[in-house]
Amino acid sequence: MALRQVSMDELPEGSEEEAQEILRQVPLRMPSYELKRVNVSQLLVDYAQPYGNGYARPLSEGRLRVLRRDWDSMACSPLIISKRADGSLFVVDGNHRRVIAFEKGIASLPAMIFSGLEQAREADLYTKLGTVLGQTPWTRFQSKLVAGDQGANNIVRIVEANGFVLDASGYQDARIQAVARIEWIYARGGPEGLDWTLSFLAIAFDGQRESLGEMQLEGVFSFYLRYADRVERNDVAGMLGAAGLNAWHDRAASIWGRVDVGKRSNTFGMAIADMVNDSWRKKGKRVKDLLPAWTPNLAQVNPGRGVSFSSRMNWASRPDHNPAPQQLED
């Protein structure tokens, strides 16, 4: 005789029977970990470039100083450790605690040890756990790449297709350090907005480092949102390049001194618009055919590209280039 299938409606709400039936229908897969003490001298760190090819940021001397001053073993939360297939133990969260414990002669620390994690999953956890002091936009972006984040990989592809390199290690031609601003543009303008912005700068200035700062990138993107449908990108980029970087920067500085356009980066976008209108006036265009007045608030702009904005996000953090030792030795 076949057993009758029990309906959820037949079980008392909030009962153990209902909970068991929910688990049967939607089984939970809990991560496998063990909580134990680990020898700090045996722990490894999968550092990101330039110290390795992983995801972990360099140590912050400021964070280390705070931990040295305020260290309390009872207030030390467990490290998050990944035990890899070969038995090696990699720190996913708690590298600064590891270093200070080693300095103070503390042989072991409590840890949650996860088994069977791939490096990409470690990087993903590192990013999600990275709400502590010292993580930078660059190290978070590196972690996303290691974790296989599609958006981060799309950004790298677009940047490289336009002849640039994302690299926070030096201020050089064709090298973009402002990774947070690049992510900001991609999040709001998608692949099209980022590609338009970088292509414009590549045509105008051929990778000159002074054209690739945060304000210049955001200024060009803001111009794209307001006027891309009214201009030919290559023509405007060629005009700006012919005028030169100094002329662009001087025009932006002049706008900043006499007009309230909101954020400083708006002056770089408005400078492009002014230069386009100057050129068009010389060619005899009528006033009604010129680019319309600059709208300071992007939230008032409706470019028709599904661009979203958030007033809660702060992208003003700066990269931290503090060096770090690779691994501690016994």
Amino acid at 180: A
Mean pLDDT (whole number) for 264-286? 94
Looking at residue 315, what is its pLDDT?
28
pLDDT single digits (tens) 203-220: 999 999 999 999 999 999
Q: For residue 326, is pLDDT > 50? A: no
Tell me, what's the pLDDT at 108?
93
Single out the residue of 26, 27, 31 nearest to residue 125, CA to CA. 31
At a CB cut-off of 8 Å and minimum separation 6, what does 239 contact? 275, 276, 279
Q: How far apart are CA 14 and CA 24, in angstroms?
A: 15
Neighbours of 242 (CB within 10 A): 9
Instruction: Give SS3 for 148.
Output: coil
Residue whose entry in the numeric block shows the structure tokens 């945060």: 214
- Alpha carbons 317 and 320: distance in angstroms, whole number: 9
Most confident of 12-26, 128-142, 180-194, 308-322: 180-194
Q: Which domains does the chain have, with CATH numbers?
A: 33-135 (3.90.1530.10), 150-300 (no CATH)
SS3 assignment, position 79: strand
Q: How far apart are CA 213 and CA 179, in angstroms?
A: 10
Q: What is the DSSP letter of 58?
A: P
C-alpha distances in Å from residue 116, one per residue of 11, 40, 89, 119, 152:
38, 21, 11, 10, 25
Residue 321: pLDDT over 60 = no
Mean pLDDT of 48-68: 86
Indicate the pLDDT class of residue 310, thresholds 50, 70 and 90. Answer: very low
Per-residue pLDDT band for 32 (boundaries 50, 70, 90) equals confident
> Residue 224 pLDDT more than 90?
yes
Token duo for residue 6: 């029990």
Q: Give Cα 192 to chain centroid, integer Å.
A: 18
* H-assigned helices in the chain: 16-25, 61-70, 95-103, 119-129, 137-146, 150-161, 179-205, 214-227, 233-243, 245-258, 265-282
317 neighbors 180 (Cβ within 8 angstroms): yes
